[in-house]
A and B are shown apart, each in its own frame.
Chain A
Amino acid sequence: MTYTLNELMVAAAAREIKDGEVVFVGMRLPLIAFVVAKKTHAPHAIGLFENGVIRSTPSPELIYTMADPPNILGATQCLDMTGVMSLLQSGRVHLGFLGAAEVDRFGNLNSTQVKGKNGIVRLPGSGGACDIASMAHRFVSLLDHGKHRLPERVSYITSPGNGEGGGWRKRVGLPRGGPAAVITTKCVLRFGEDGEAFLSTYHPGVTIEDILANTGWKLKVADNAKPTPEPTADELKAIREYDTKGFWTS
């Protein structure tokens, strides 16, 4: 069965959600990943959105932002940001999703500013990303794989990962959590006890050499590294029934 790279990434993100978990959904591809998880293996997952929305069912049609009217219709609760962020802070959120411009060796994320050819390139900023990375029990980030997108150290930590390595989060006062996975356009990275990223799975058609050559540090490779599982027919059906025009997943 043929599928797009974005569909593979959405399916991989969806599988990070366990049934019954409370998930901070985030923007873009994770919006679809939540829907796919709900319609396949995680029908009892609960979605939290930082605008104040809590959903126990997928939105009835595609949304471009979390505040689109279909995300309000039939929601479990529509209240305020302080409320859902407080659930995050008090440890009631299992998993959060984030995007980023850069992710480094220890899973720290930068979405504030990067160095470009002509000086600093300003990006939109944290939004809720720093809050999710700081306080969810685990978080998953998605990004385009490239050497400049995966530097050894990010130039600005918008959202804290494992900082400088194992034990760092506790030292700086973070209550819990840390990065569980980075889903890139080439592979899935996971993290060891030492806080450092390693190659867990490589997407079908991508070689380990290609990934190593396009990562900004000497990436460790798991002994049992294997191909990223392809999206199943059910996952593709859920994606295509939702993103009918392929805005996010073409």
Chain B
Amino acid sequence: MSKVLTLQQAIADLVPDGSSVALGLQMEQMIPFAAGHEIIRQKKRDLRLIGPISDILFDQLIGAGCVKDVVAAWVGNVMMGSAYNFRRATEQENPGTPGEKLRVFNMTNFCISLALQAGAMGVPFLPTRTAMGSDVPRGNHFFYQIISPFEPKETLMAVRAIQPDVTIVHVQRADKFGNAHCWGNFGVMIEGVRAAKKVIVCAEEVVPEEMIASDPNRTVIPGFLVSAVVYCPYGAHPSPVQGYYKRDDDFFQQYHAETKTPEAFSAWAQHWIHGVKDCSEYAKLLGEERLENLGVKKHAYAAVTDFGY
């Protein structure tokens, strides 16, 4: 049965208030901004955000009051440094928990990947050698120092498993069952998909299942793990999608300049989030010239792969 839903349906059905949501798992690439914006439009509340970095998407969800707490290694604007909603929420007041500051569980990138991998493997934790002597694990219930059962004098850090209620990813193409091709860098997407209770796949293109099956090594998501497939062209903008559009660096700089106060962020969100109802209106708002400029100028196709026998 087809799992194709509109973005509105997918978010309404699969992201109830109070959910833990893993987003931005491919690092700076293919961040599901459209899905994040729909979460904001639907005024979801008390979410736990999970991810290694997220670039500016976490900052937007925090500023919009959707967030109860954050489990992440880094929250900001990658090319510009800090992000203002995150700073205000942690230093003063979190719009999602009025009267309180935003609670942040500090992680490291590797610890996010281990936590999701443990979740994916169905084990309570994975051991690592990172973060020993760091303050990141201090007072943080995602960490516990252990001694190796095999080398009695060897101390290790156990990282607690994370199983997100829902993981949202953006990919180049998927079939209607959710089998998805992705290329570029994966970050912790595969672990995040395997660990999640539900998965939403946003795709630049929804293609016939024969096309996905023709190249199984590129199928990073098997459809049986997927709850919804959303056709969502430009849904990762301003982050890049290899082979479709490049990173909109100006947009990240403009976001930095235009969100310095809560009022400025509200105006920004009114324009880019509340002022449109879906991906196609968002693309229209970006305008043909901007999309043309971001589009692929010189194609670089991979060699043909022969799966014959």
Q: B-contacting residues of A (Cβ < 8 Å)?
A: 27, 49-53, 64-69, 72-73, 78-82, 85, 88-89, 112, 119-131, 133-135, 156-160, 163, 168-169, 172-175
- Assess A122 versus B108: contact at CB under 8 Å? Given A67-B185, A157-B135: no
Residues A174 and B87 in contact, CB atoms below 8 Å apart: no
Asked if B109 contacts A128 (CB within 8 A), the reply is yes
The reply to whether B106 and A172 form a contact with Cβ atoms under 8 Å apart is no
26 contacts across the A-B interface (CB closer than 8 A): A51-B29, A64-B78, A66-B27, A68-B246, A68-B247, A69-B242, A72-B183, A79-B185, A85-B110, A89-B130, A112-B135, A121-B87, A126-B106, A126-B108, A127-B108, A127-B109, A128-B110, A130-B136, A131-B108, A134-B133, A134-B134, A135-B130, A158-B136, A159-B134, A172-B132, A173-B132
Determine the distance from Cα of A73 to Cα of B183 in the docked complex, in whole angstroms.
Answer: 11
Residue from A126, A131, A158 whose CB has the most chain B CB atoms within 10 Å: A126
| CA gap between A124 and B145 in the complex, in Å | 25
Closest residue on chain A to residue B186 by CB atoms: A80
A49: chain B residues within 8 A (beta carbon): 185
The complex places the Cα of A203 from the Cα of B78 at a distance, in Å, of 28
- Distance in angstroms from B46 CB to nearest chain A CB is 21
**What is the interface of chain B, defined by CB distance below 8 A to chain A?**
26-29, 52-53, 55, 72-76, 78-79, 81-83, 86-87, 90-91, 104, 106-111, 113-114, 117, 128-136, 145, 154-156, 183-191, 239-240, 242, 246-247, 249, 252, 300
Q: Return chain A residues, CB-CB under 8 Å to B136.
A: 112, 126, 130, 158
- Considering the complex, give the chain A residue whose CB is closest to the CB of B243: A69
Shortest CB-to-CB span from A48 to chain B, Å, is: 12
A127 nearest CB neighbor, chain B only:
B74
Instruction: Give Cα distance in the complex from A126 to B110, angstroms.
Output: 10
Given A78-B184, A85-B113, A124-B129 contact (CB < 8 Å): no
**Closest partner residue, chain B, to A131 (CB atom):** B110
Given contacts A49-B185, A52-B186, A82-B114, contact A130 B134 (CB under 8 A): yes
Contacts of A157 in B (CB 8 A): 133-135
Contact of B73 among A52, A79, A126, A175 (CB under 8 A): A126
Contact between B156 and A173 (Cβ–Cβ < 8 Å)?
yes
Complex-state Cα separation, A129 to B26, whole angstroms: 17
Which chain A residues lie closer than 8 Å to B242 at the CB level? Answer: 69, 72
Contacts of B76 in A (CB 8 A): 123-125
If A130-B130, A134-B132 touch, does A66 touch B28 (CB 8 Å cutoff)? yes
If over half of B's interface residues share one DSSP class (helix, strand or loop), that class is named, otherwise mixed; here it is loop
Q: Are B79 and A81 interface neighbours, CB within 8 A? A: no
Taking the closest CB of chain A, its distance from the CB of B286, in whole angstroms, is 18
Task: Decide: A64 near B117, CB < 8 A? Known: A27-B78, A163-B133.
Answer: no
- Bound state CA distance, A160 and B191, in angstroms? 27
B257 to A: closest C-beta gap in Å: 15
Given contacts A52-B185, A122-B91, A124-B74, contact A64 B133 (CB under 8 A): no
Q: Is the CB of B185 within 8 A of A125?
A: no
Q: Do the beta carbons of A160 and B134 come within 8 Å of each other?
A: yes
Instruction: Report yes or no: B28 in contact with A68, Cβ–Cβ below 8 A.
Output: yes
User: In the complex, which residue of chain B has the Cβ closest to the Cβ of A113?
Assistant: B90
Instruction: Please tell me if the beta carbons of A67 and B129 are within 8 angstroms of each other in the complex.
Output: no
Contact B113 A81 (CB under 8 A): yes
Report whether A126 and B74 are in contact in the complex, using a CB–CB cutoff of 8 Å.
Answer: yes
Query: Once the chains bind, are A69 and B247 in contact (CB under 8 Å)?
Result: yes
**Residues in chain B near residue A78, CB distance under 8 A:** 183-186
Which residues of chain B have C-beta atoms less than 8 A from A27's C-beta?
78
Known contacts A51-B26, A128-B110: does B131 contact A67 (CB below 8 Å)?
no
Instruction: For the A-B complex with A69-B240, A89-B110 known, give 10 more contacts whose Cβ atoms are closer than 8 Å.
Output: A51-B186, A52-B27, A52-B185, A64-B247, A67-B28, A67-B247, A125-B107, A127-B74, A131-B108, A135-B130
Q: Are B110 and A123 in contact (CB under 8 A)?
A: no
Instruction: Identify the closest chain B residue to A124 (Cβ).
Output: B76
Q: How far is the CB of A224 from chain B (nearest CB, A)?
A: 31
| Cβ-defined partner of A51 (8 Å) among B107, B110, B185 | B185
**Across the interface, which residues of A come within 8 angstroms of B55, CB to CB?**
65
* A158 → chain B closest CB, angstroms: 6
What are the 10 tightest A-B residue pairs by CB atom distance, in nearest-first order? A124-B76, A172-B133, A67-B28, A67-B29, A127-B74, A173-B155, A51-B27, A65-B28, A122-B90, A128-B109
Q: What chain A residues lie within 8 Å of B189 (beta carbons)?
A: 80
A242 → B minimal CB distance (Å): 15
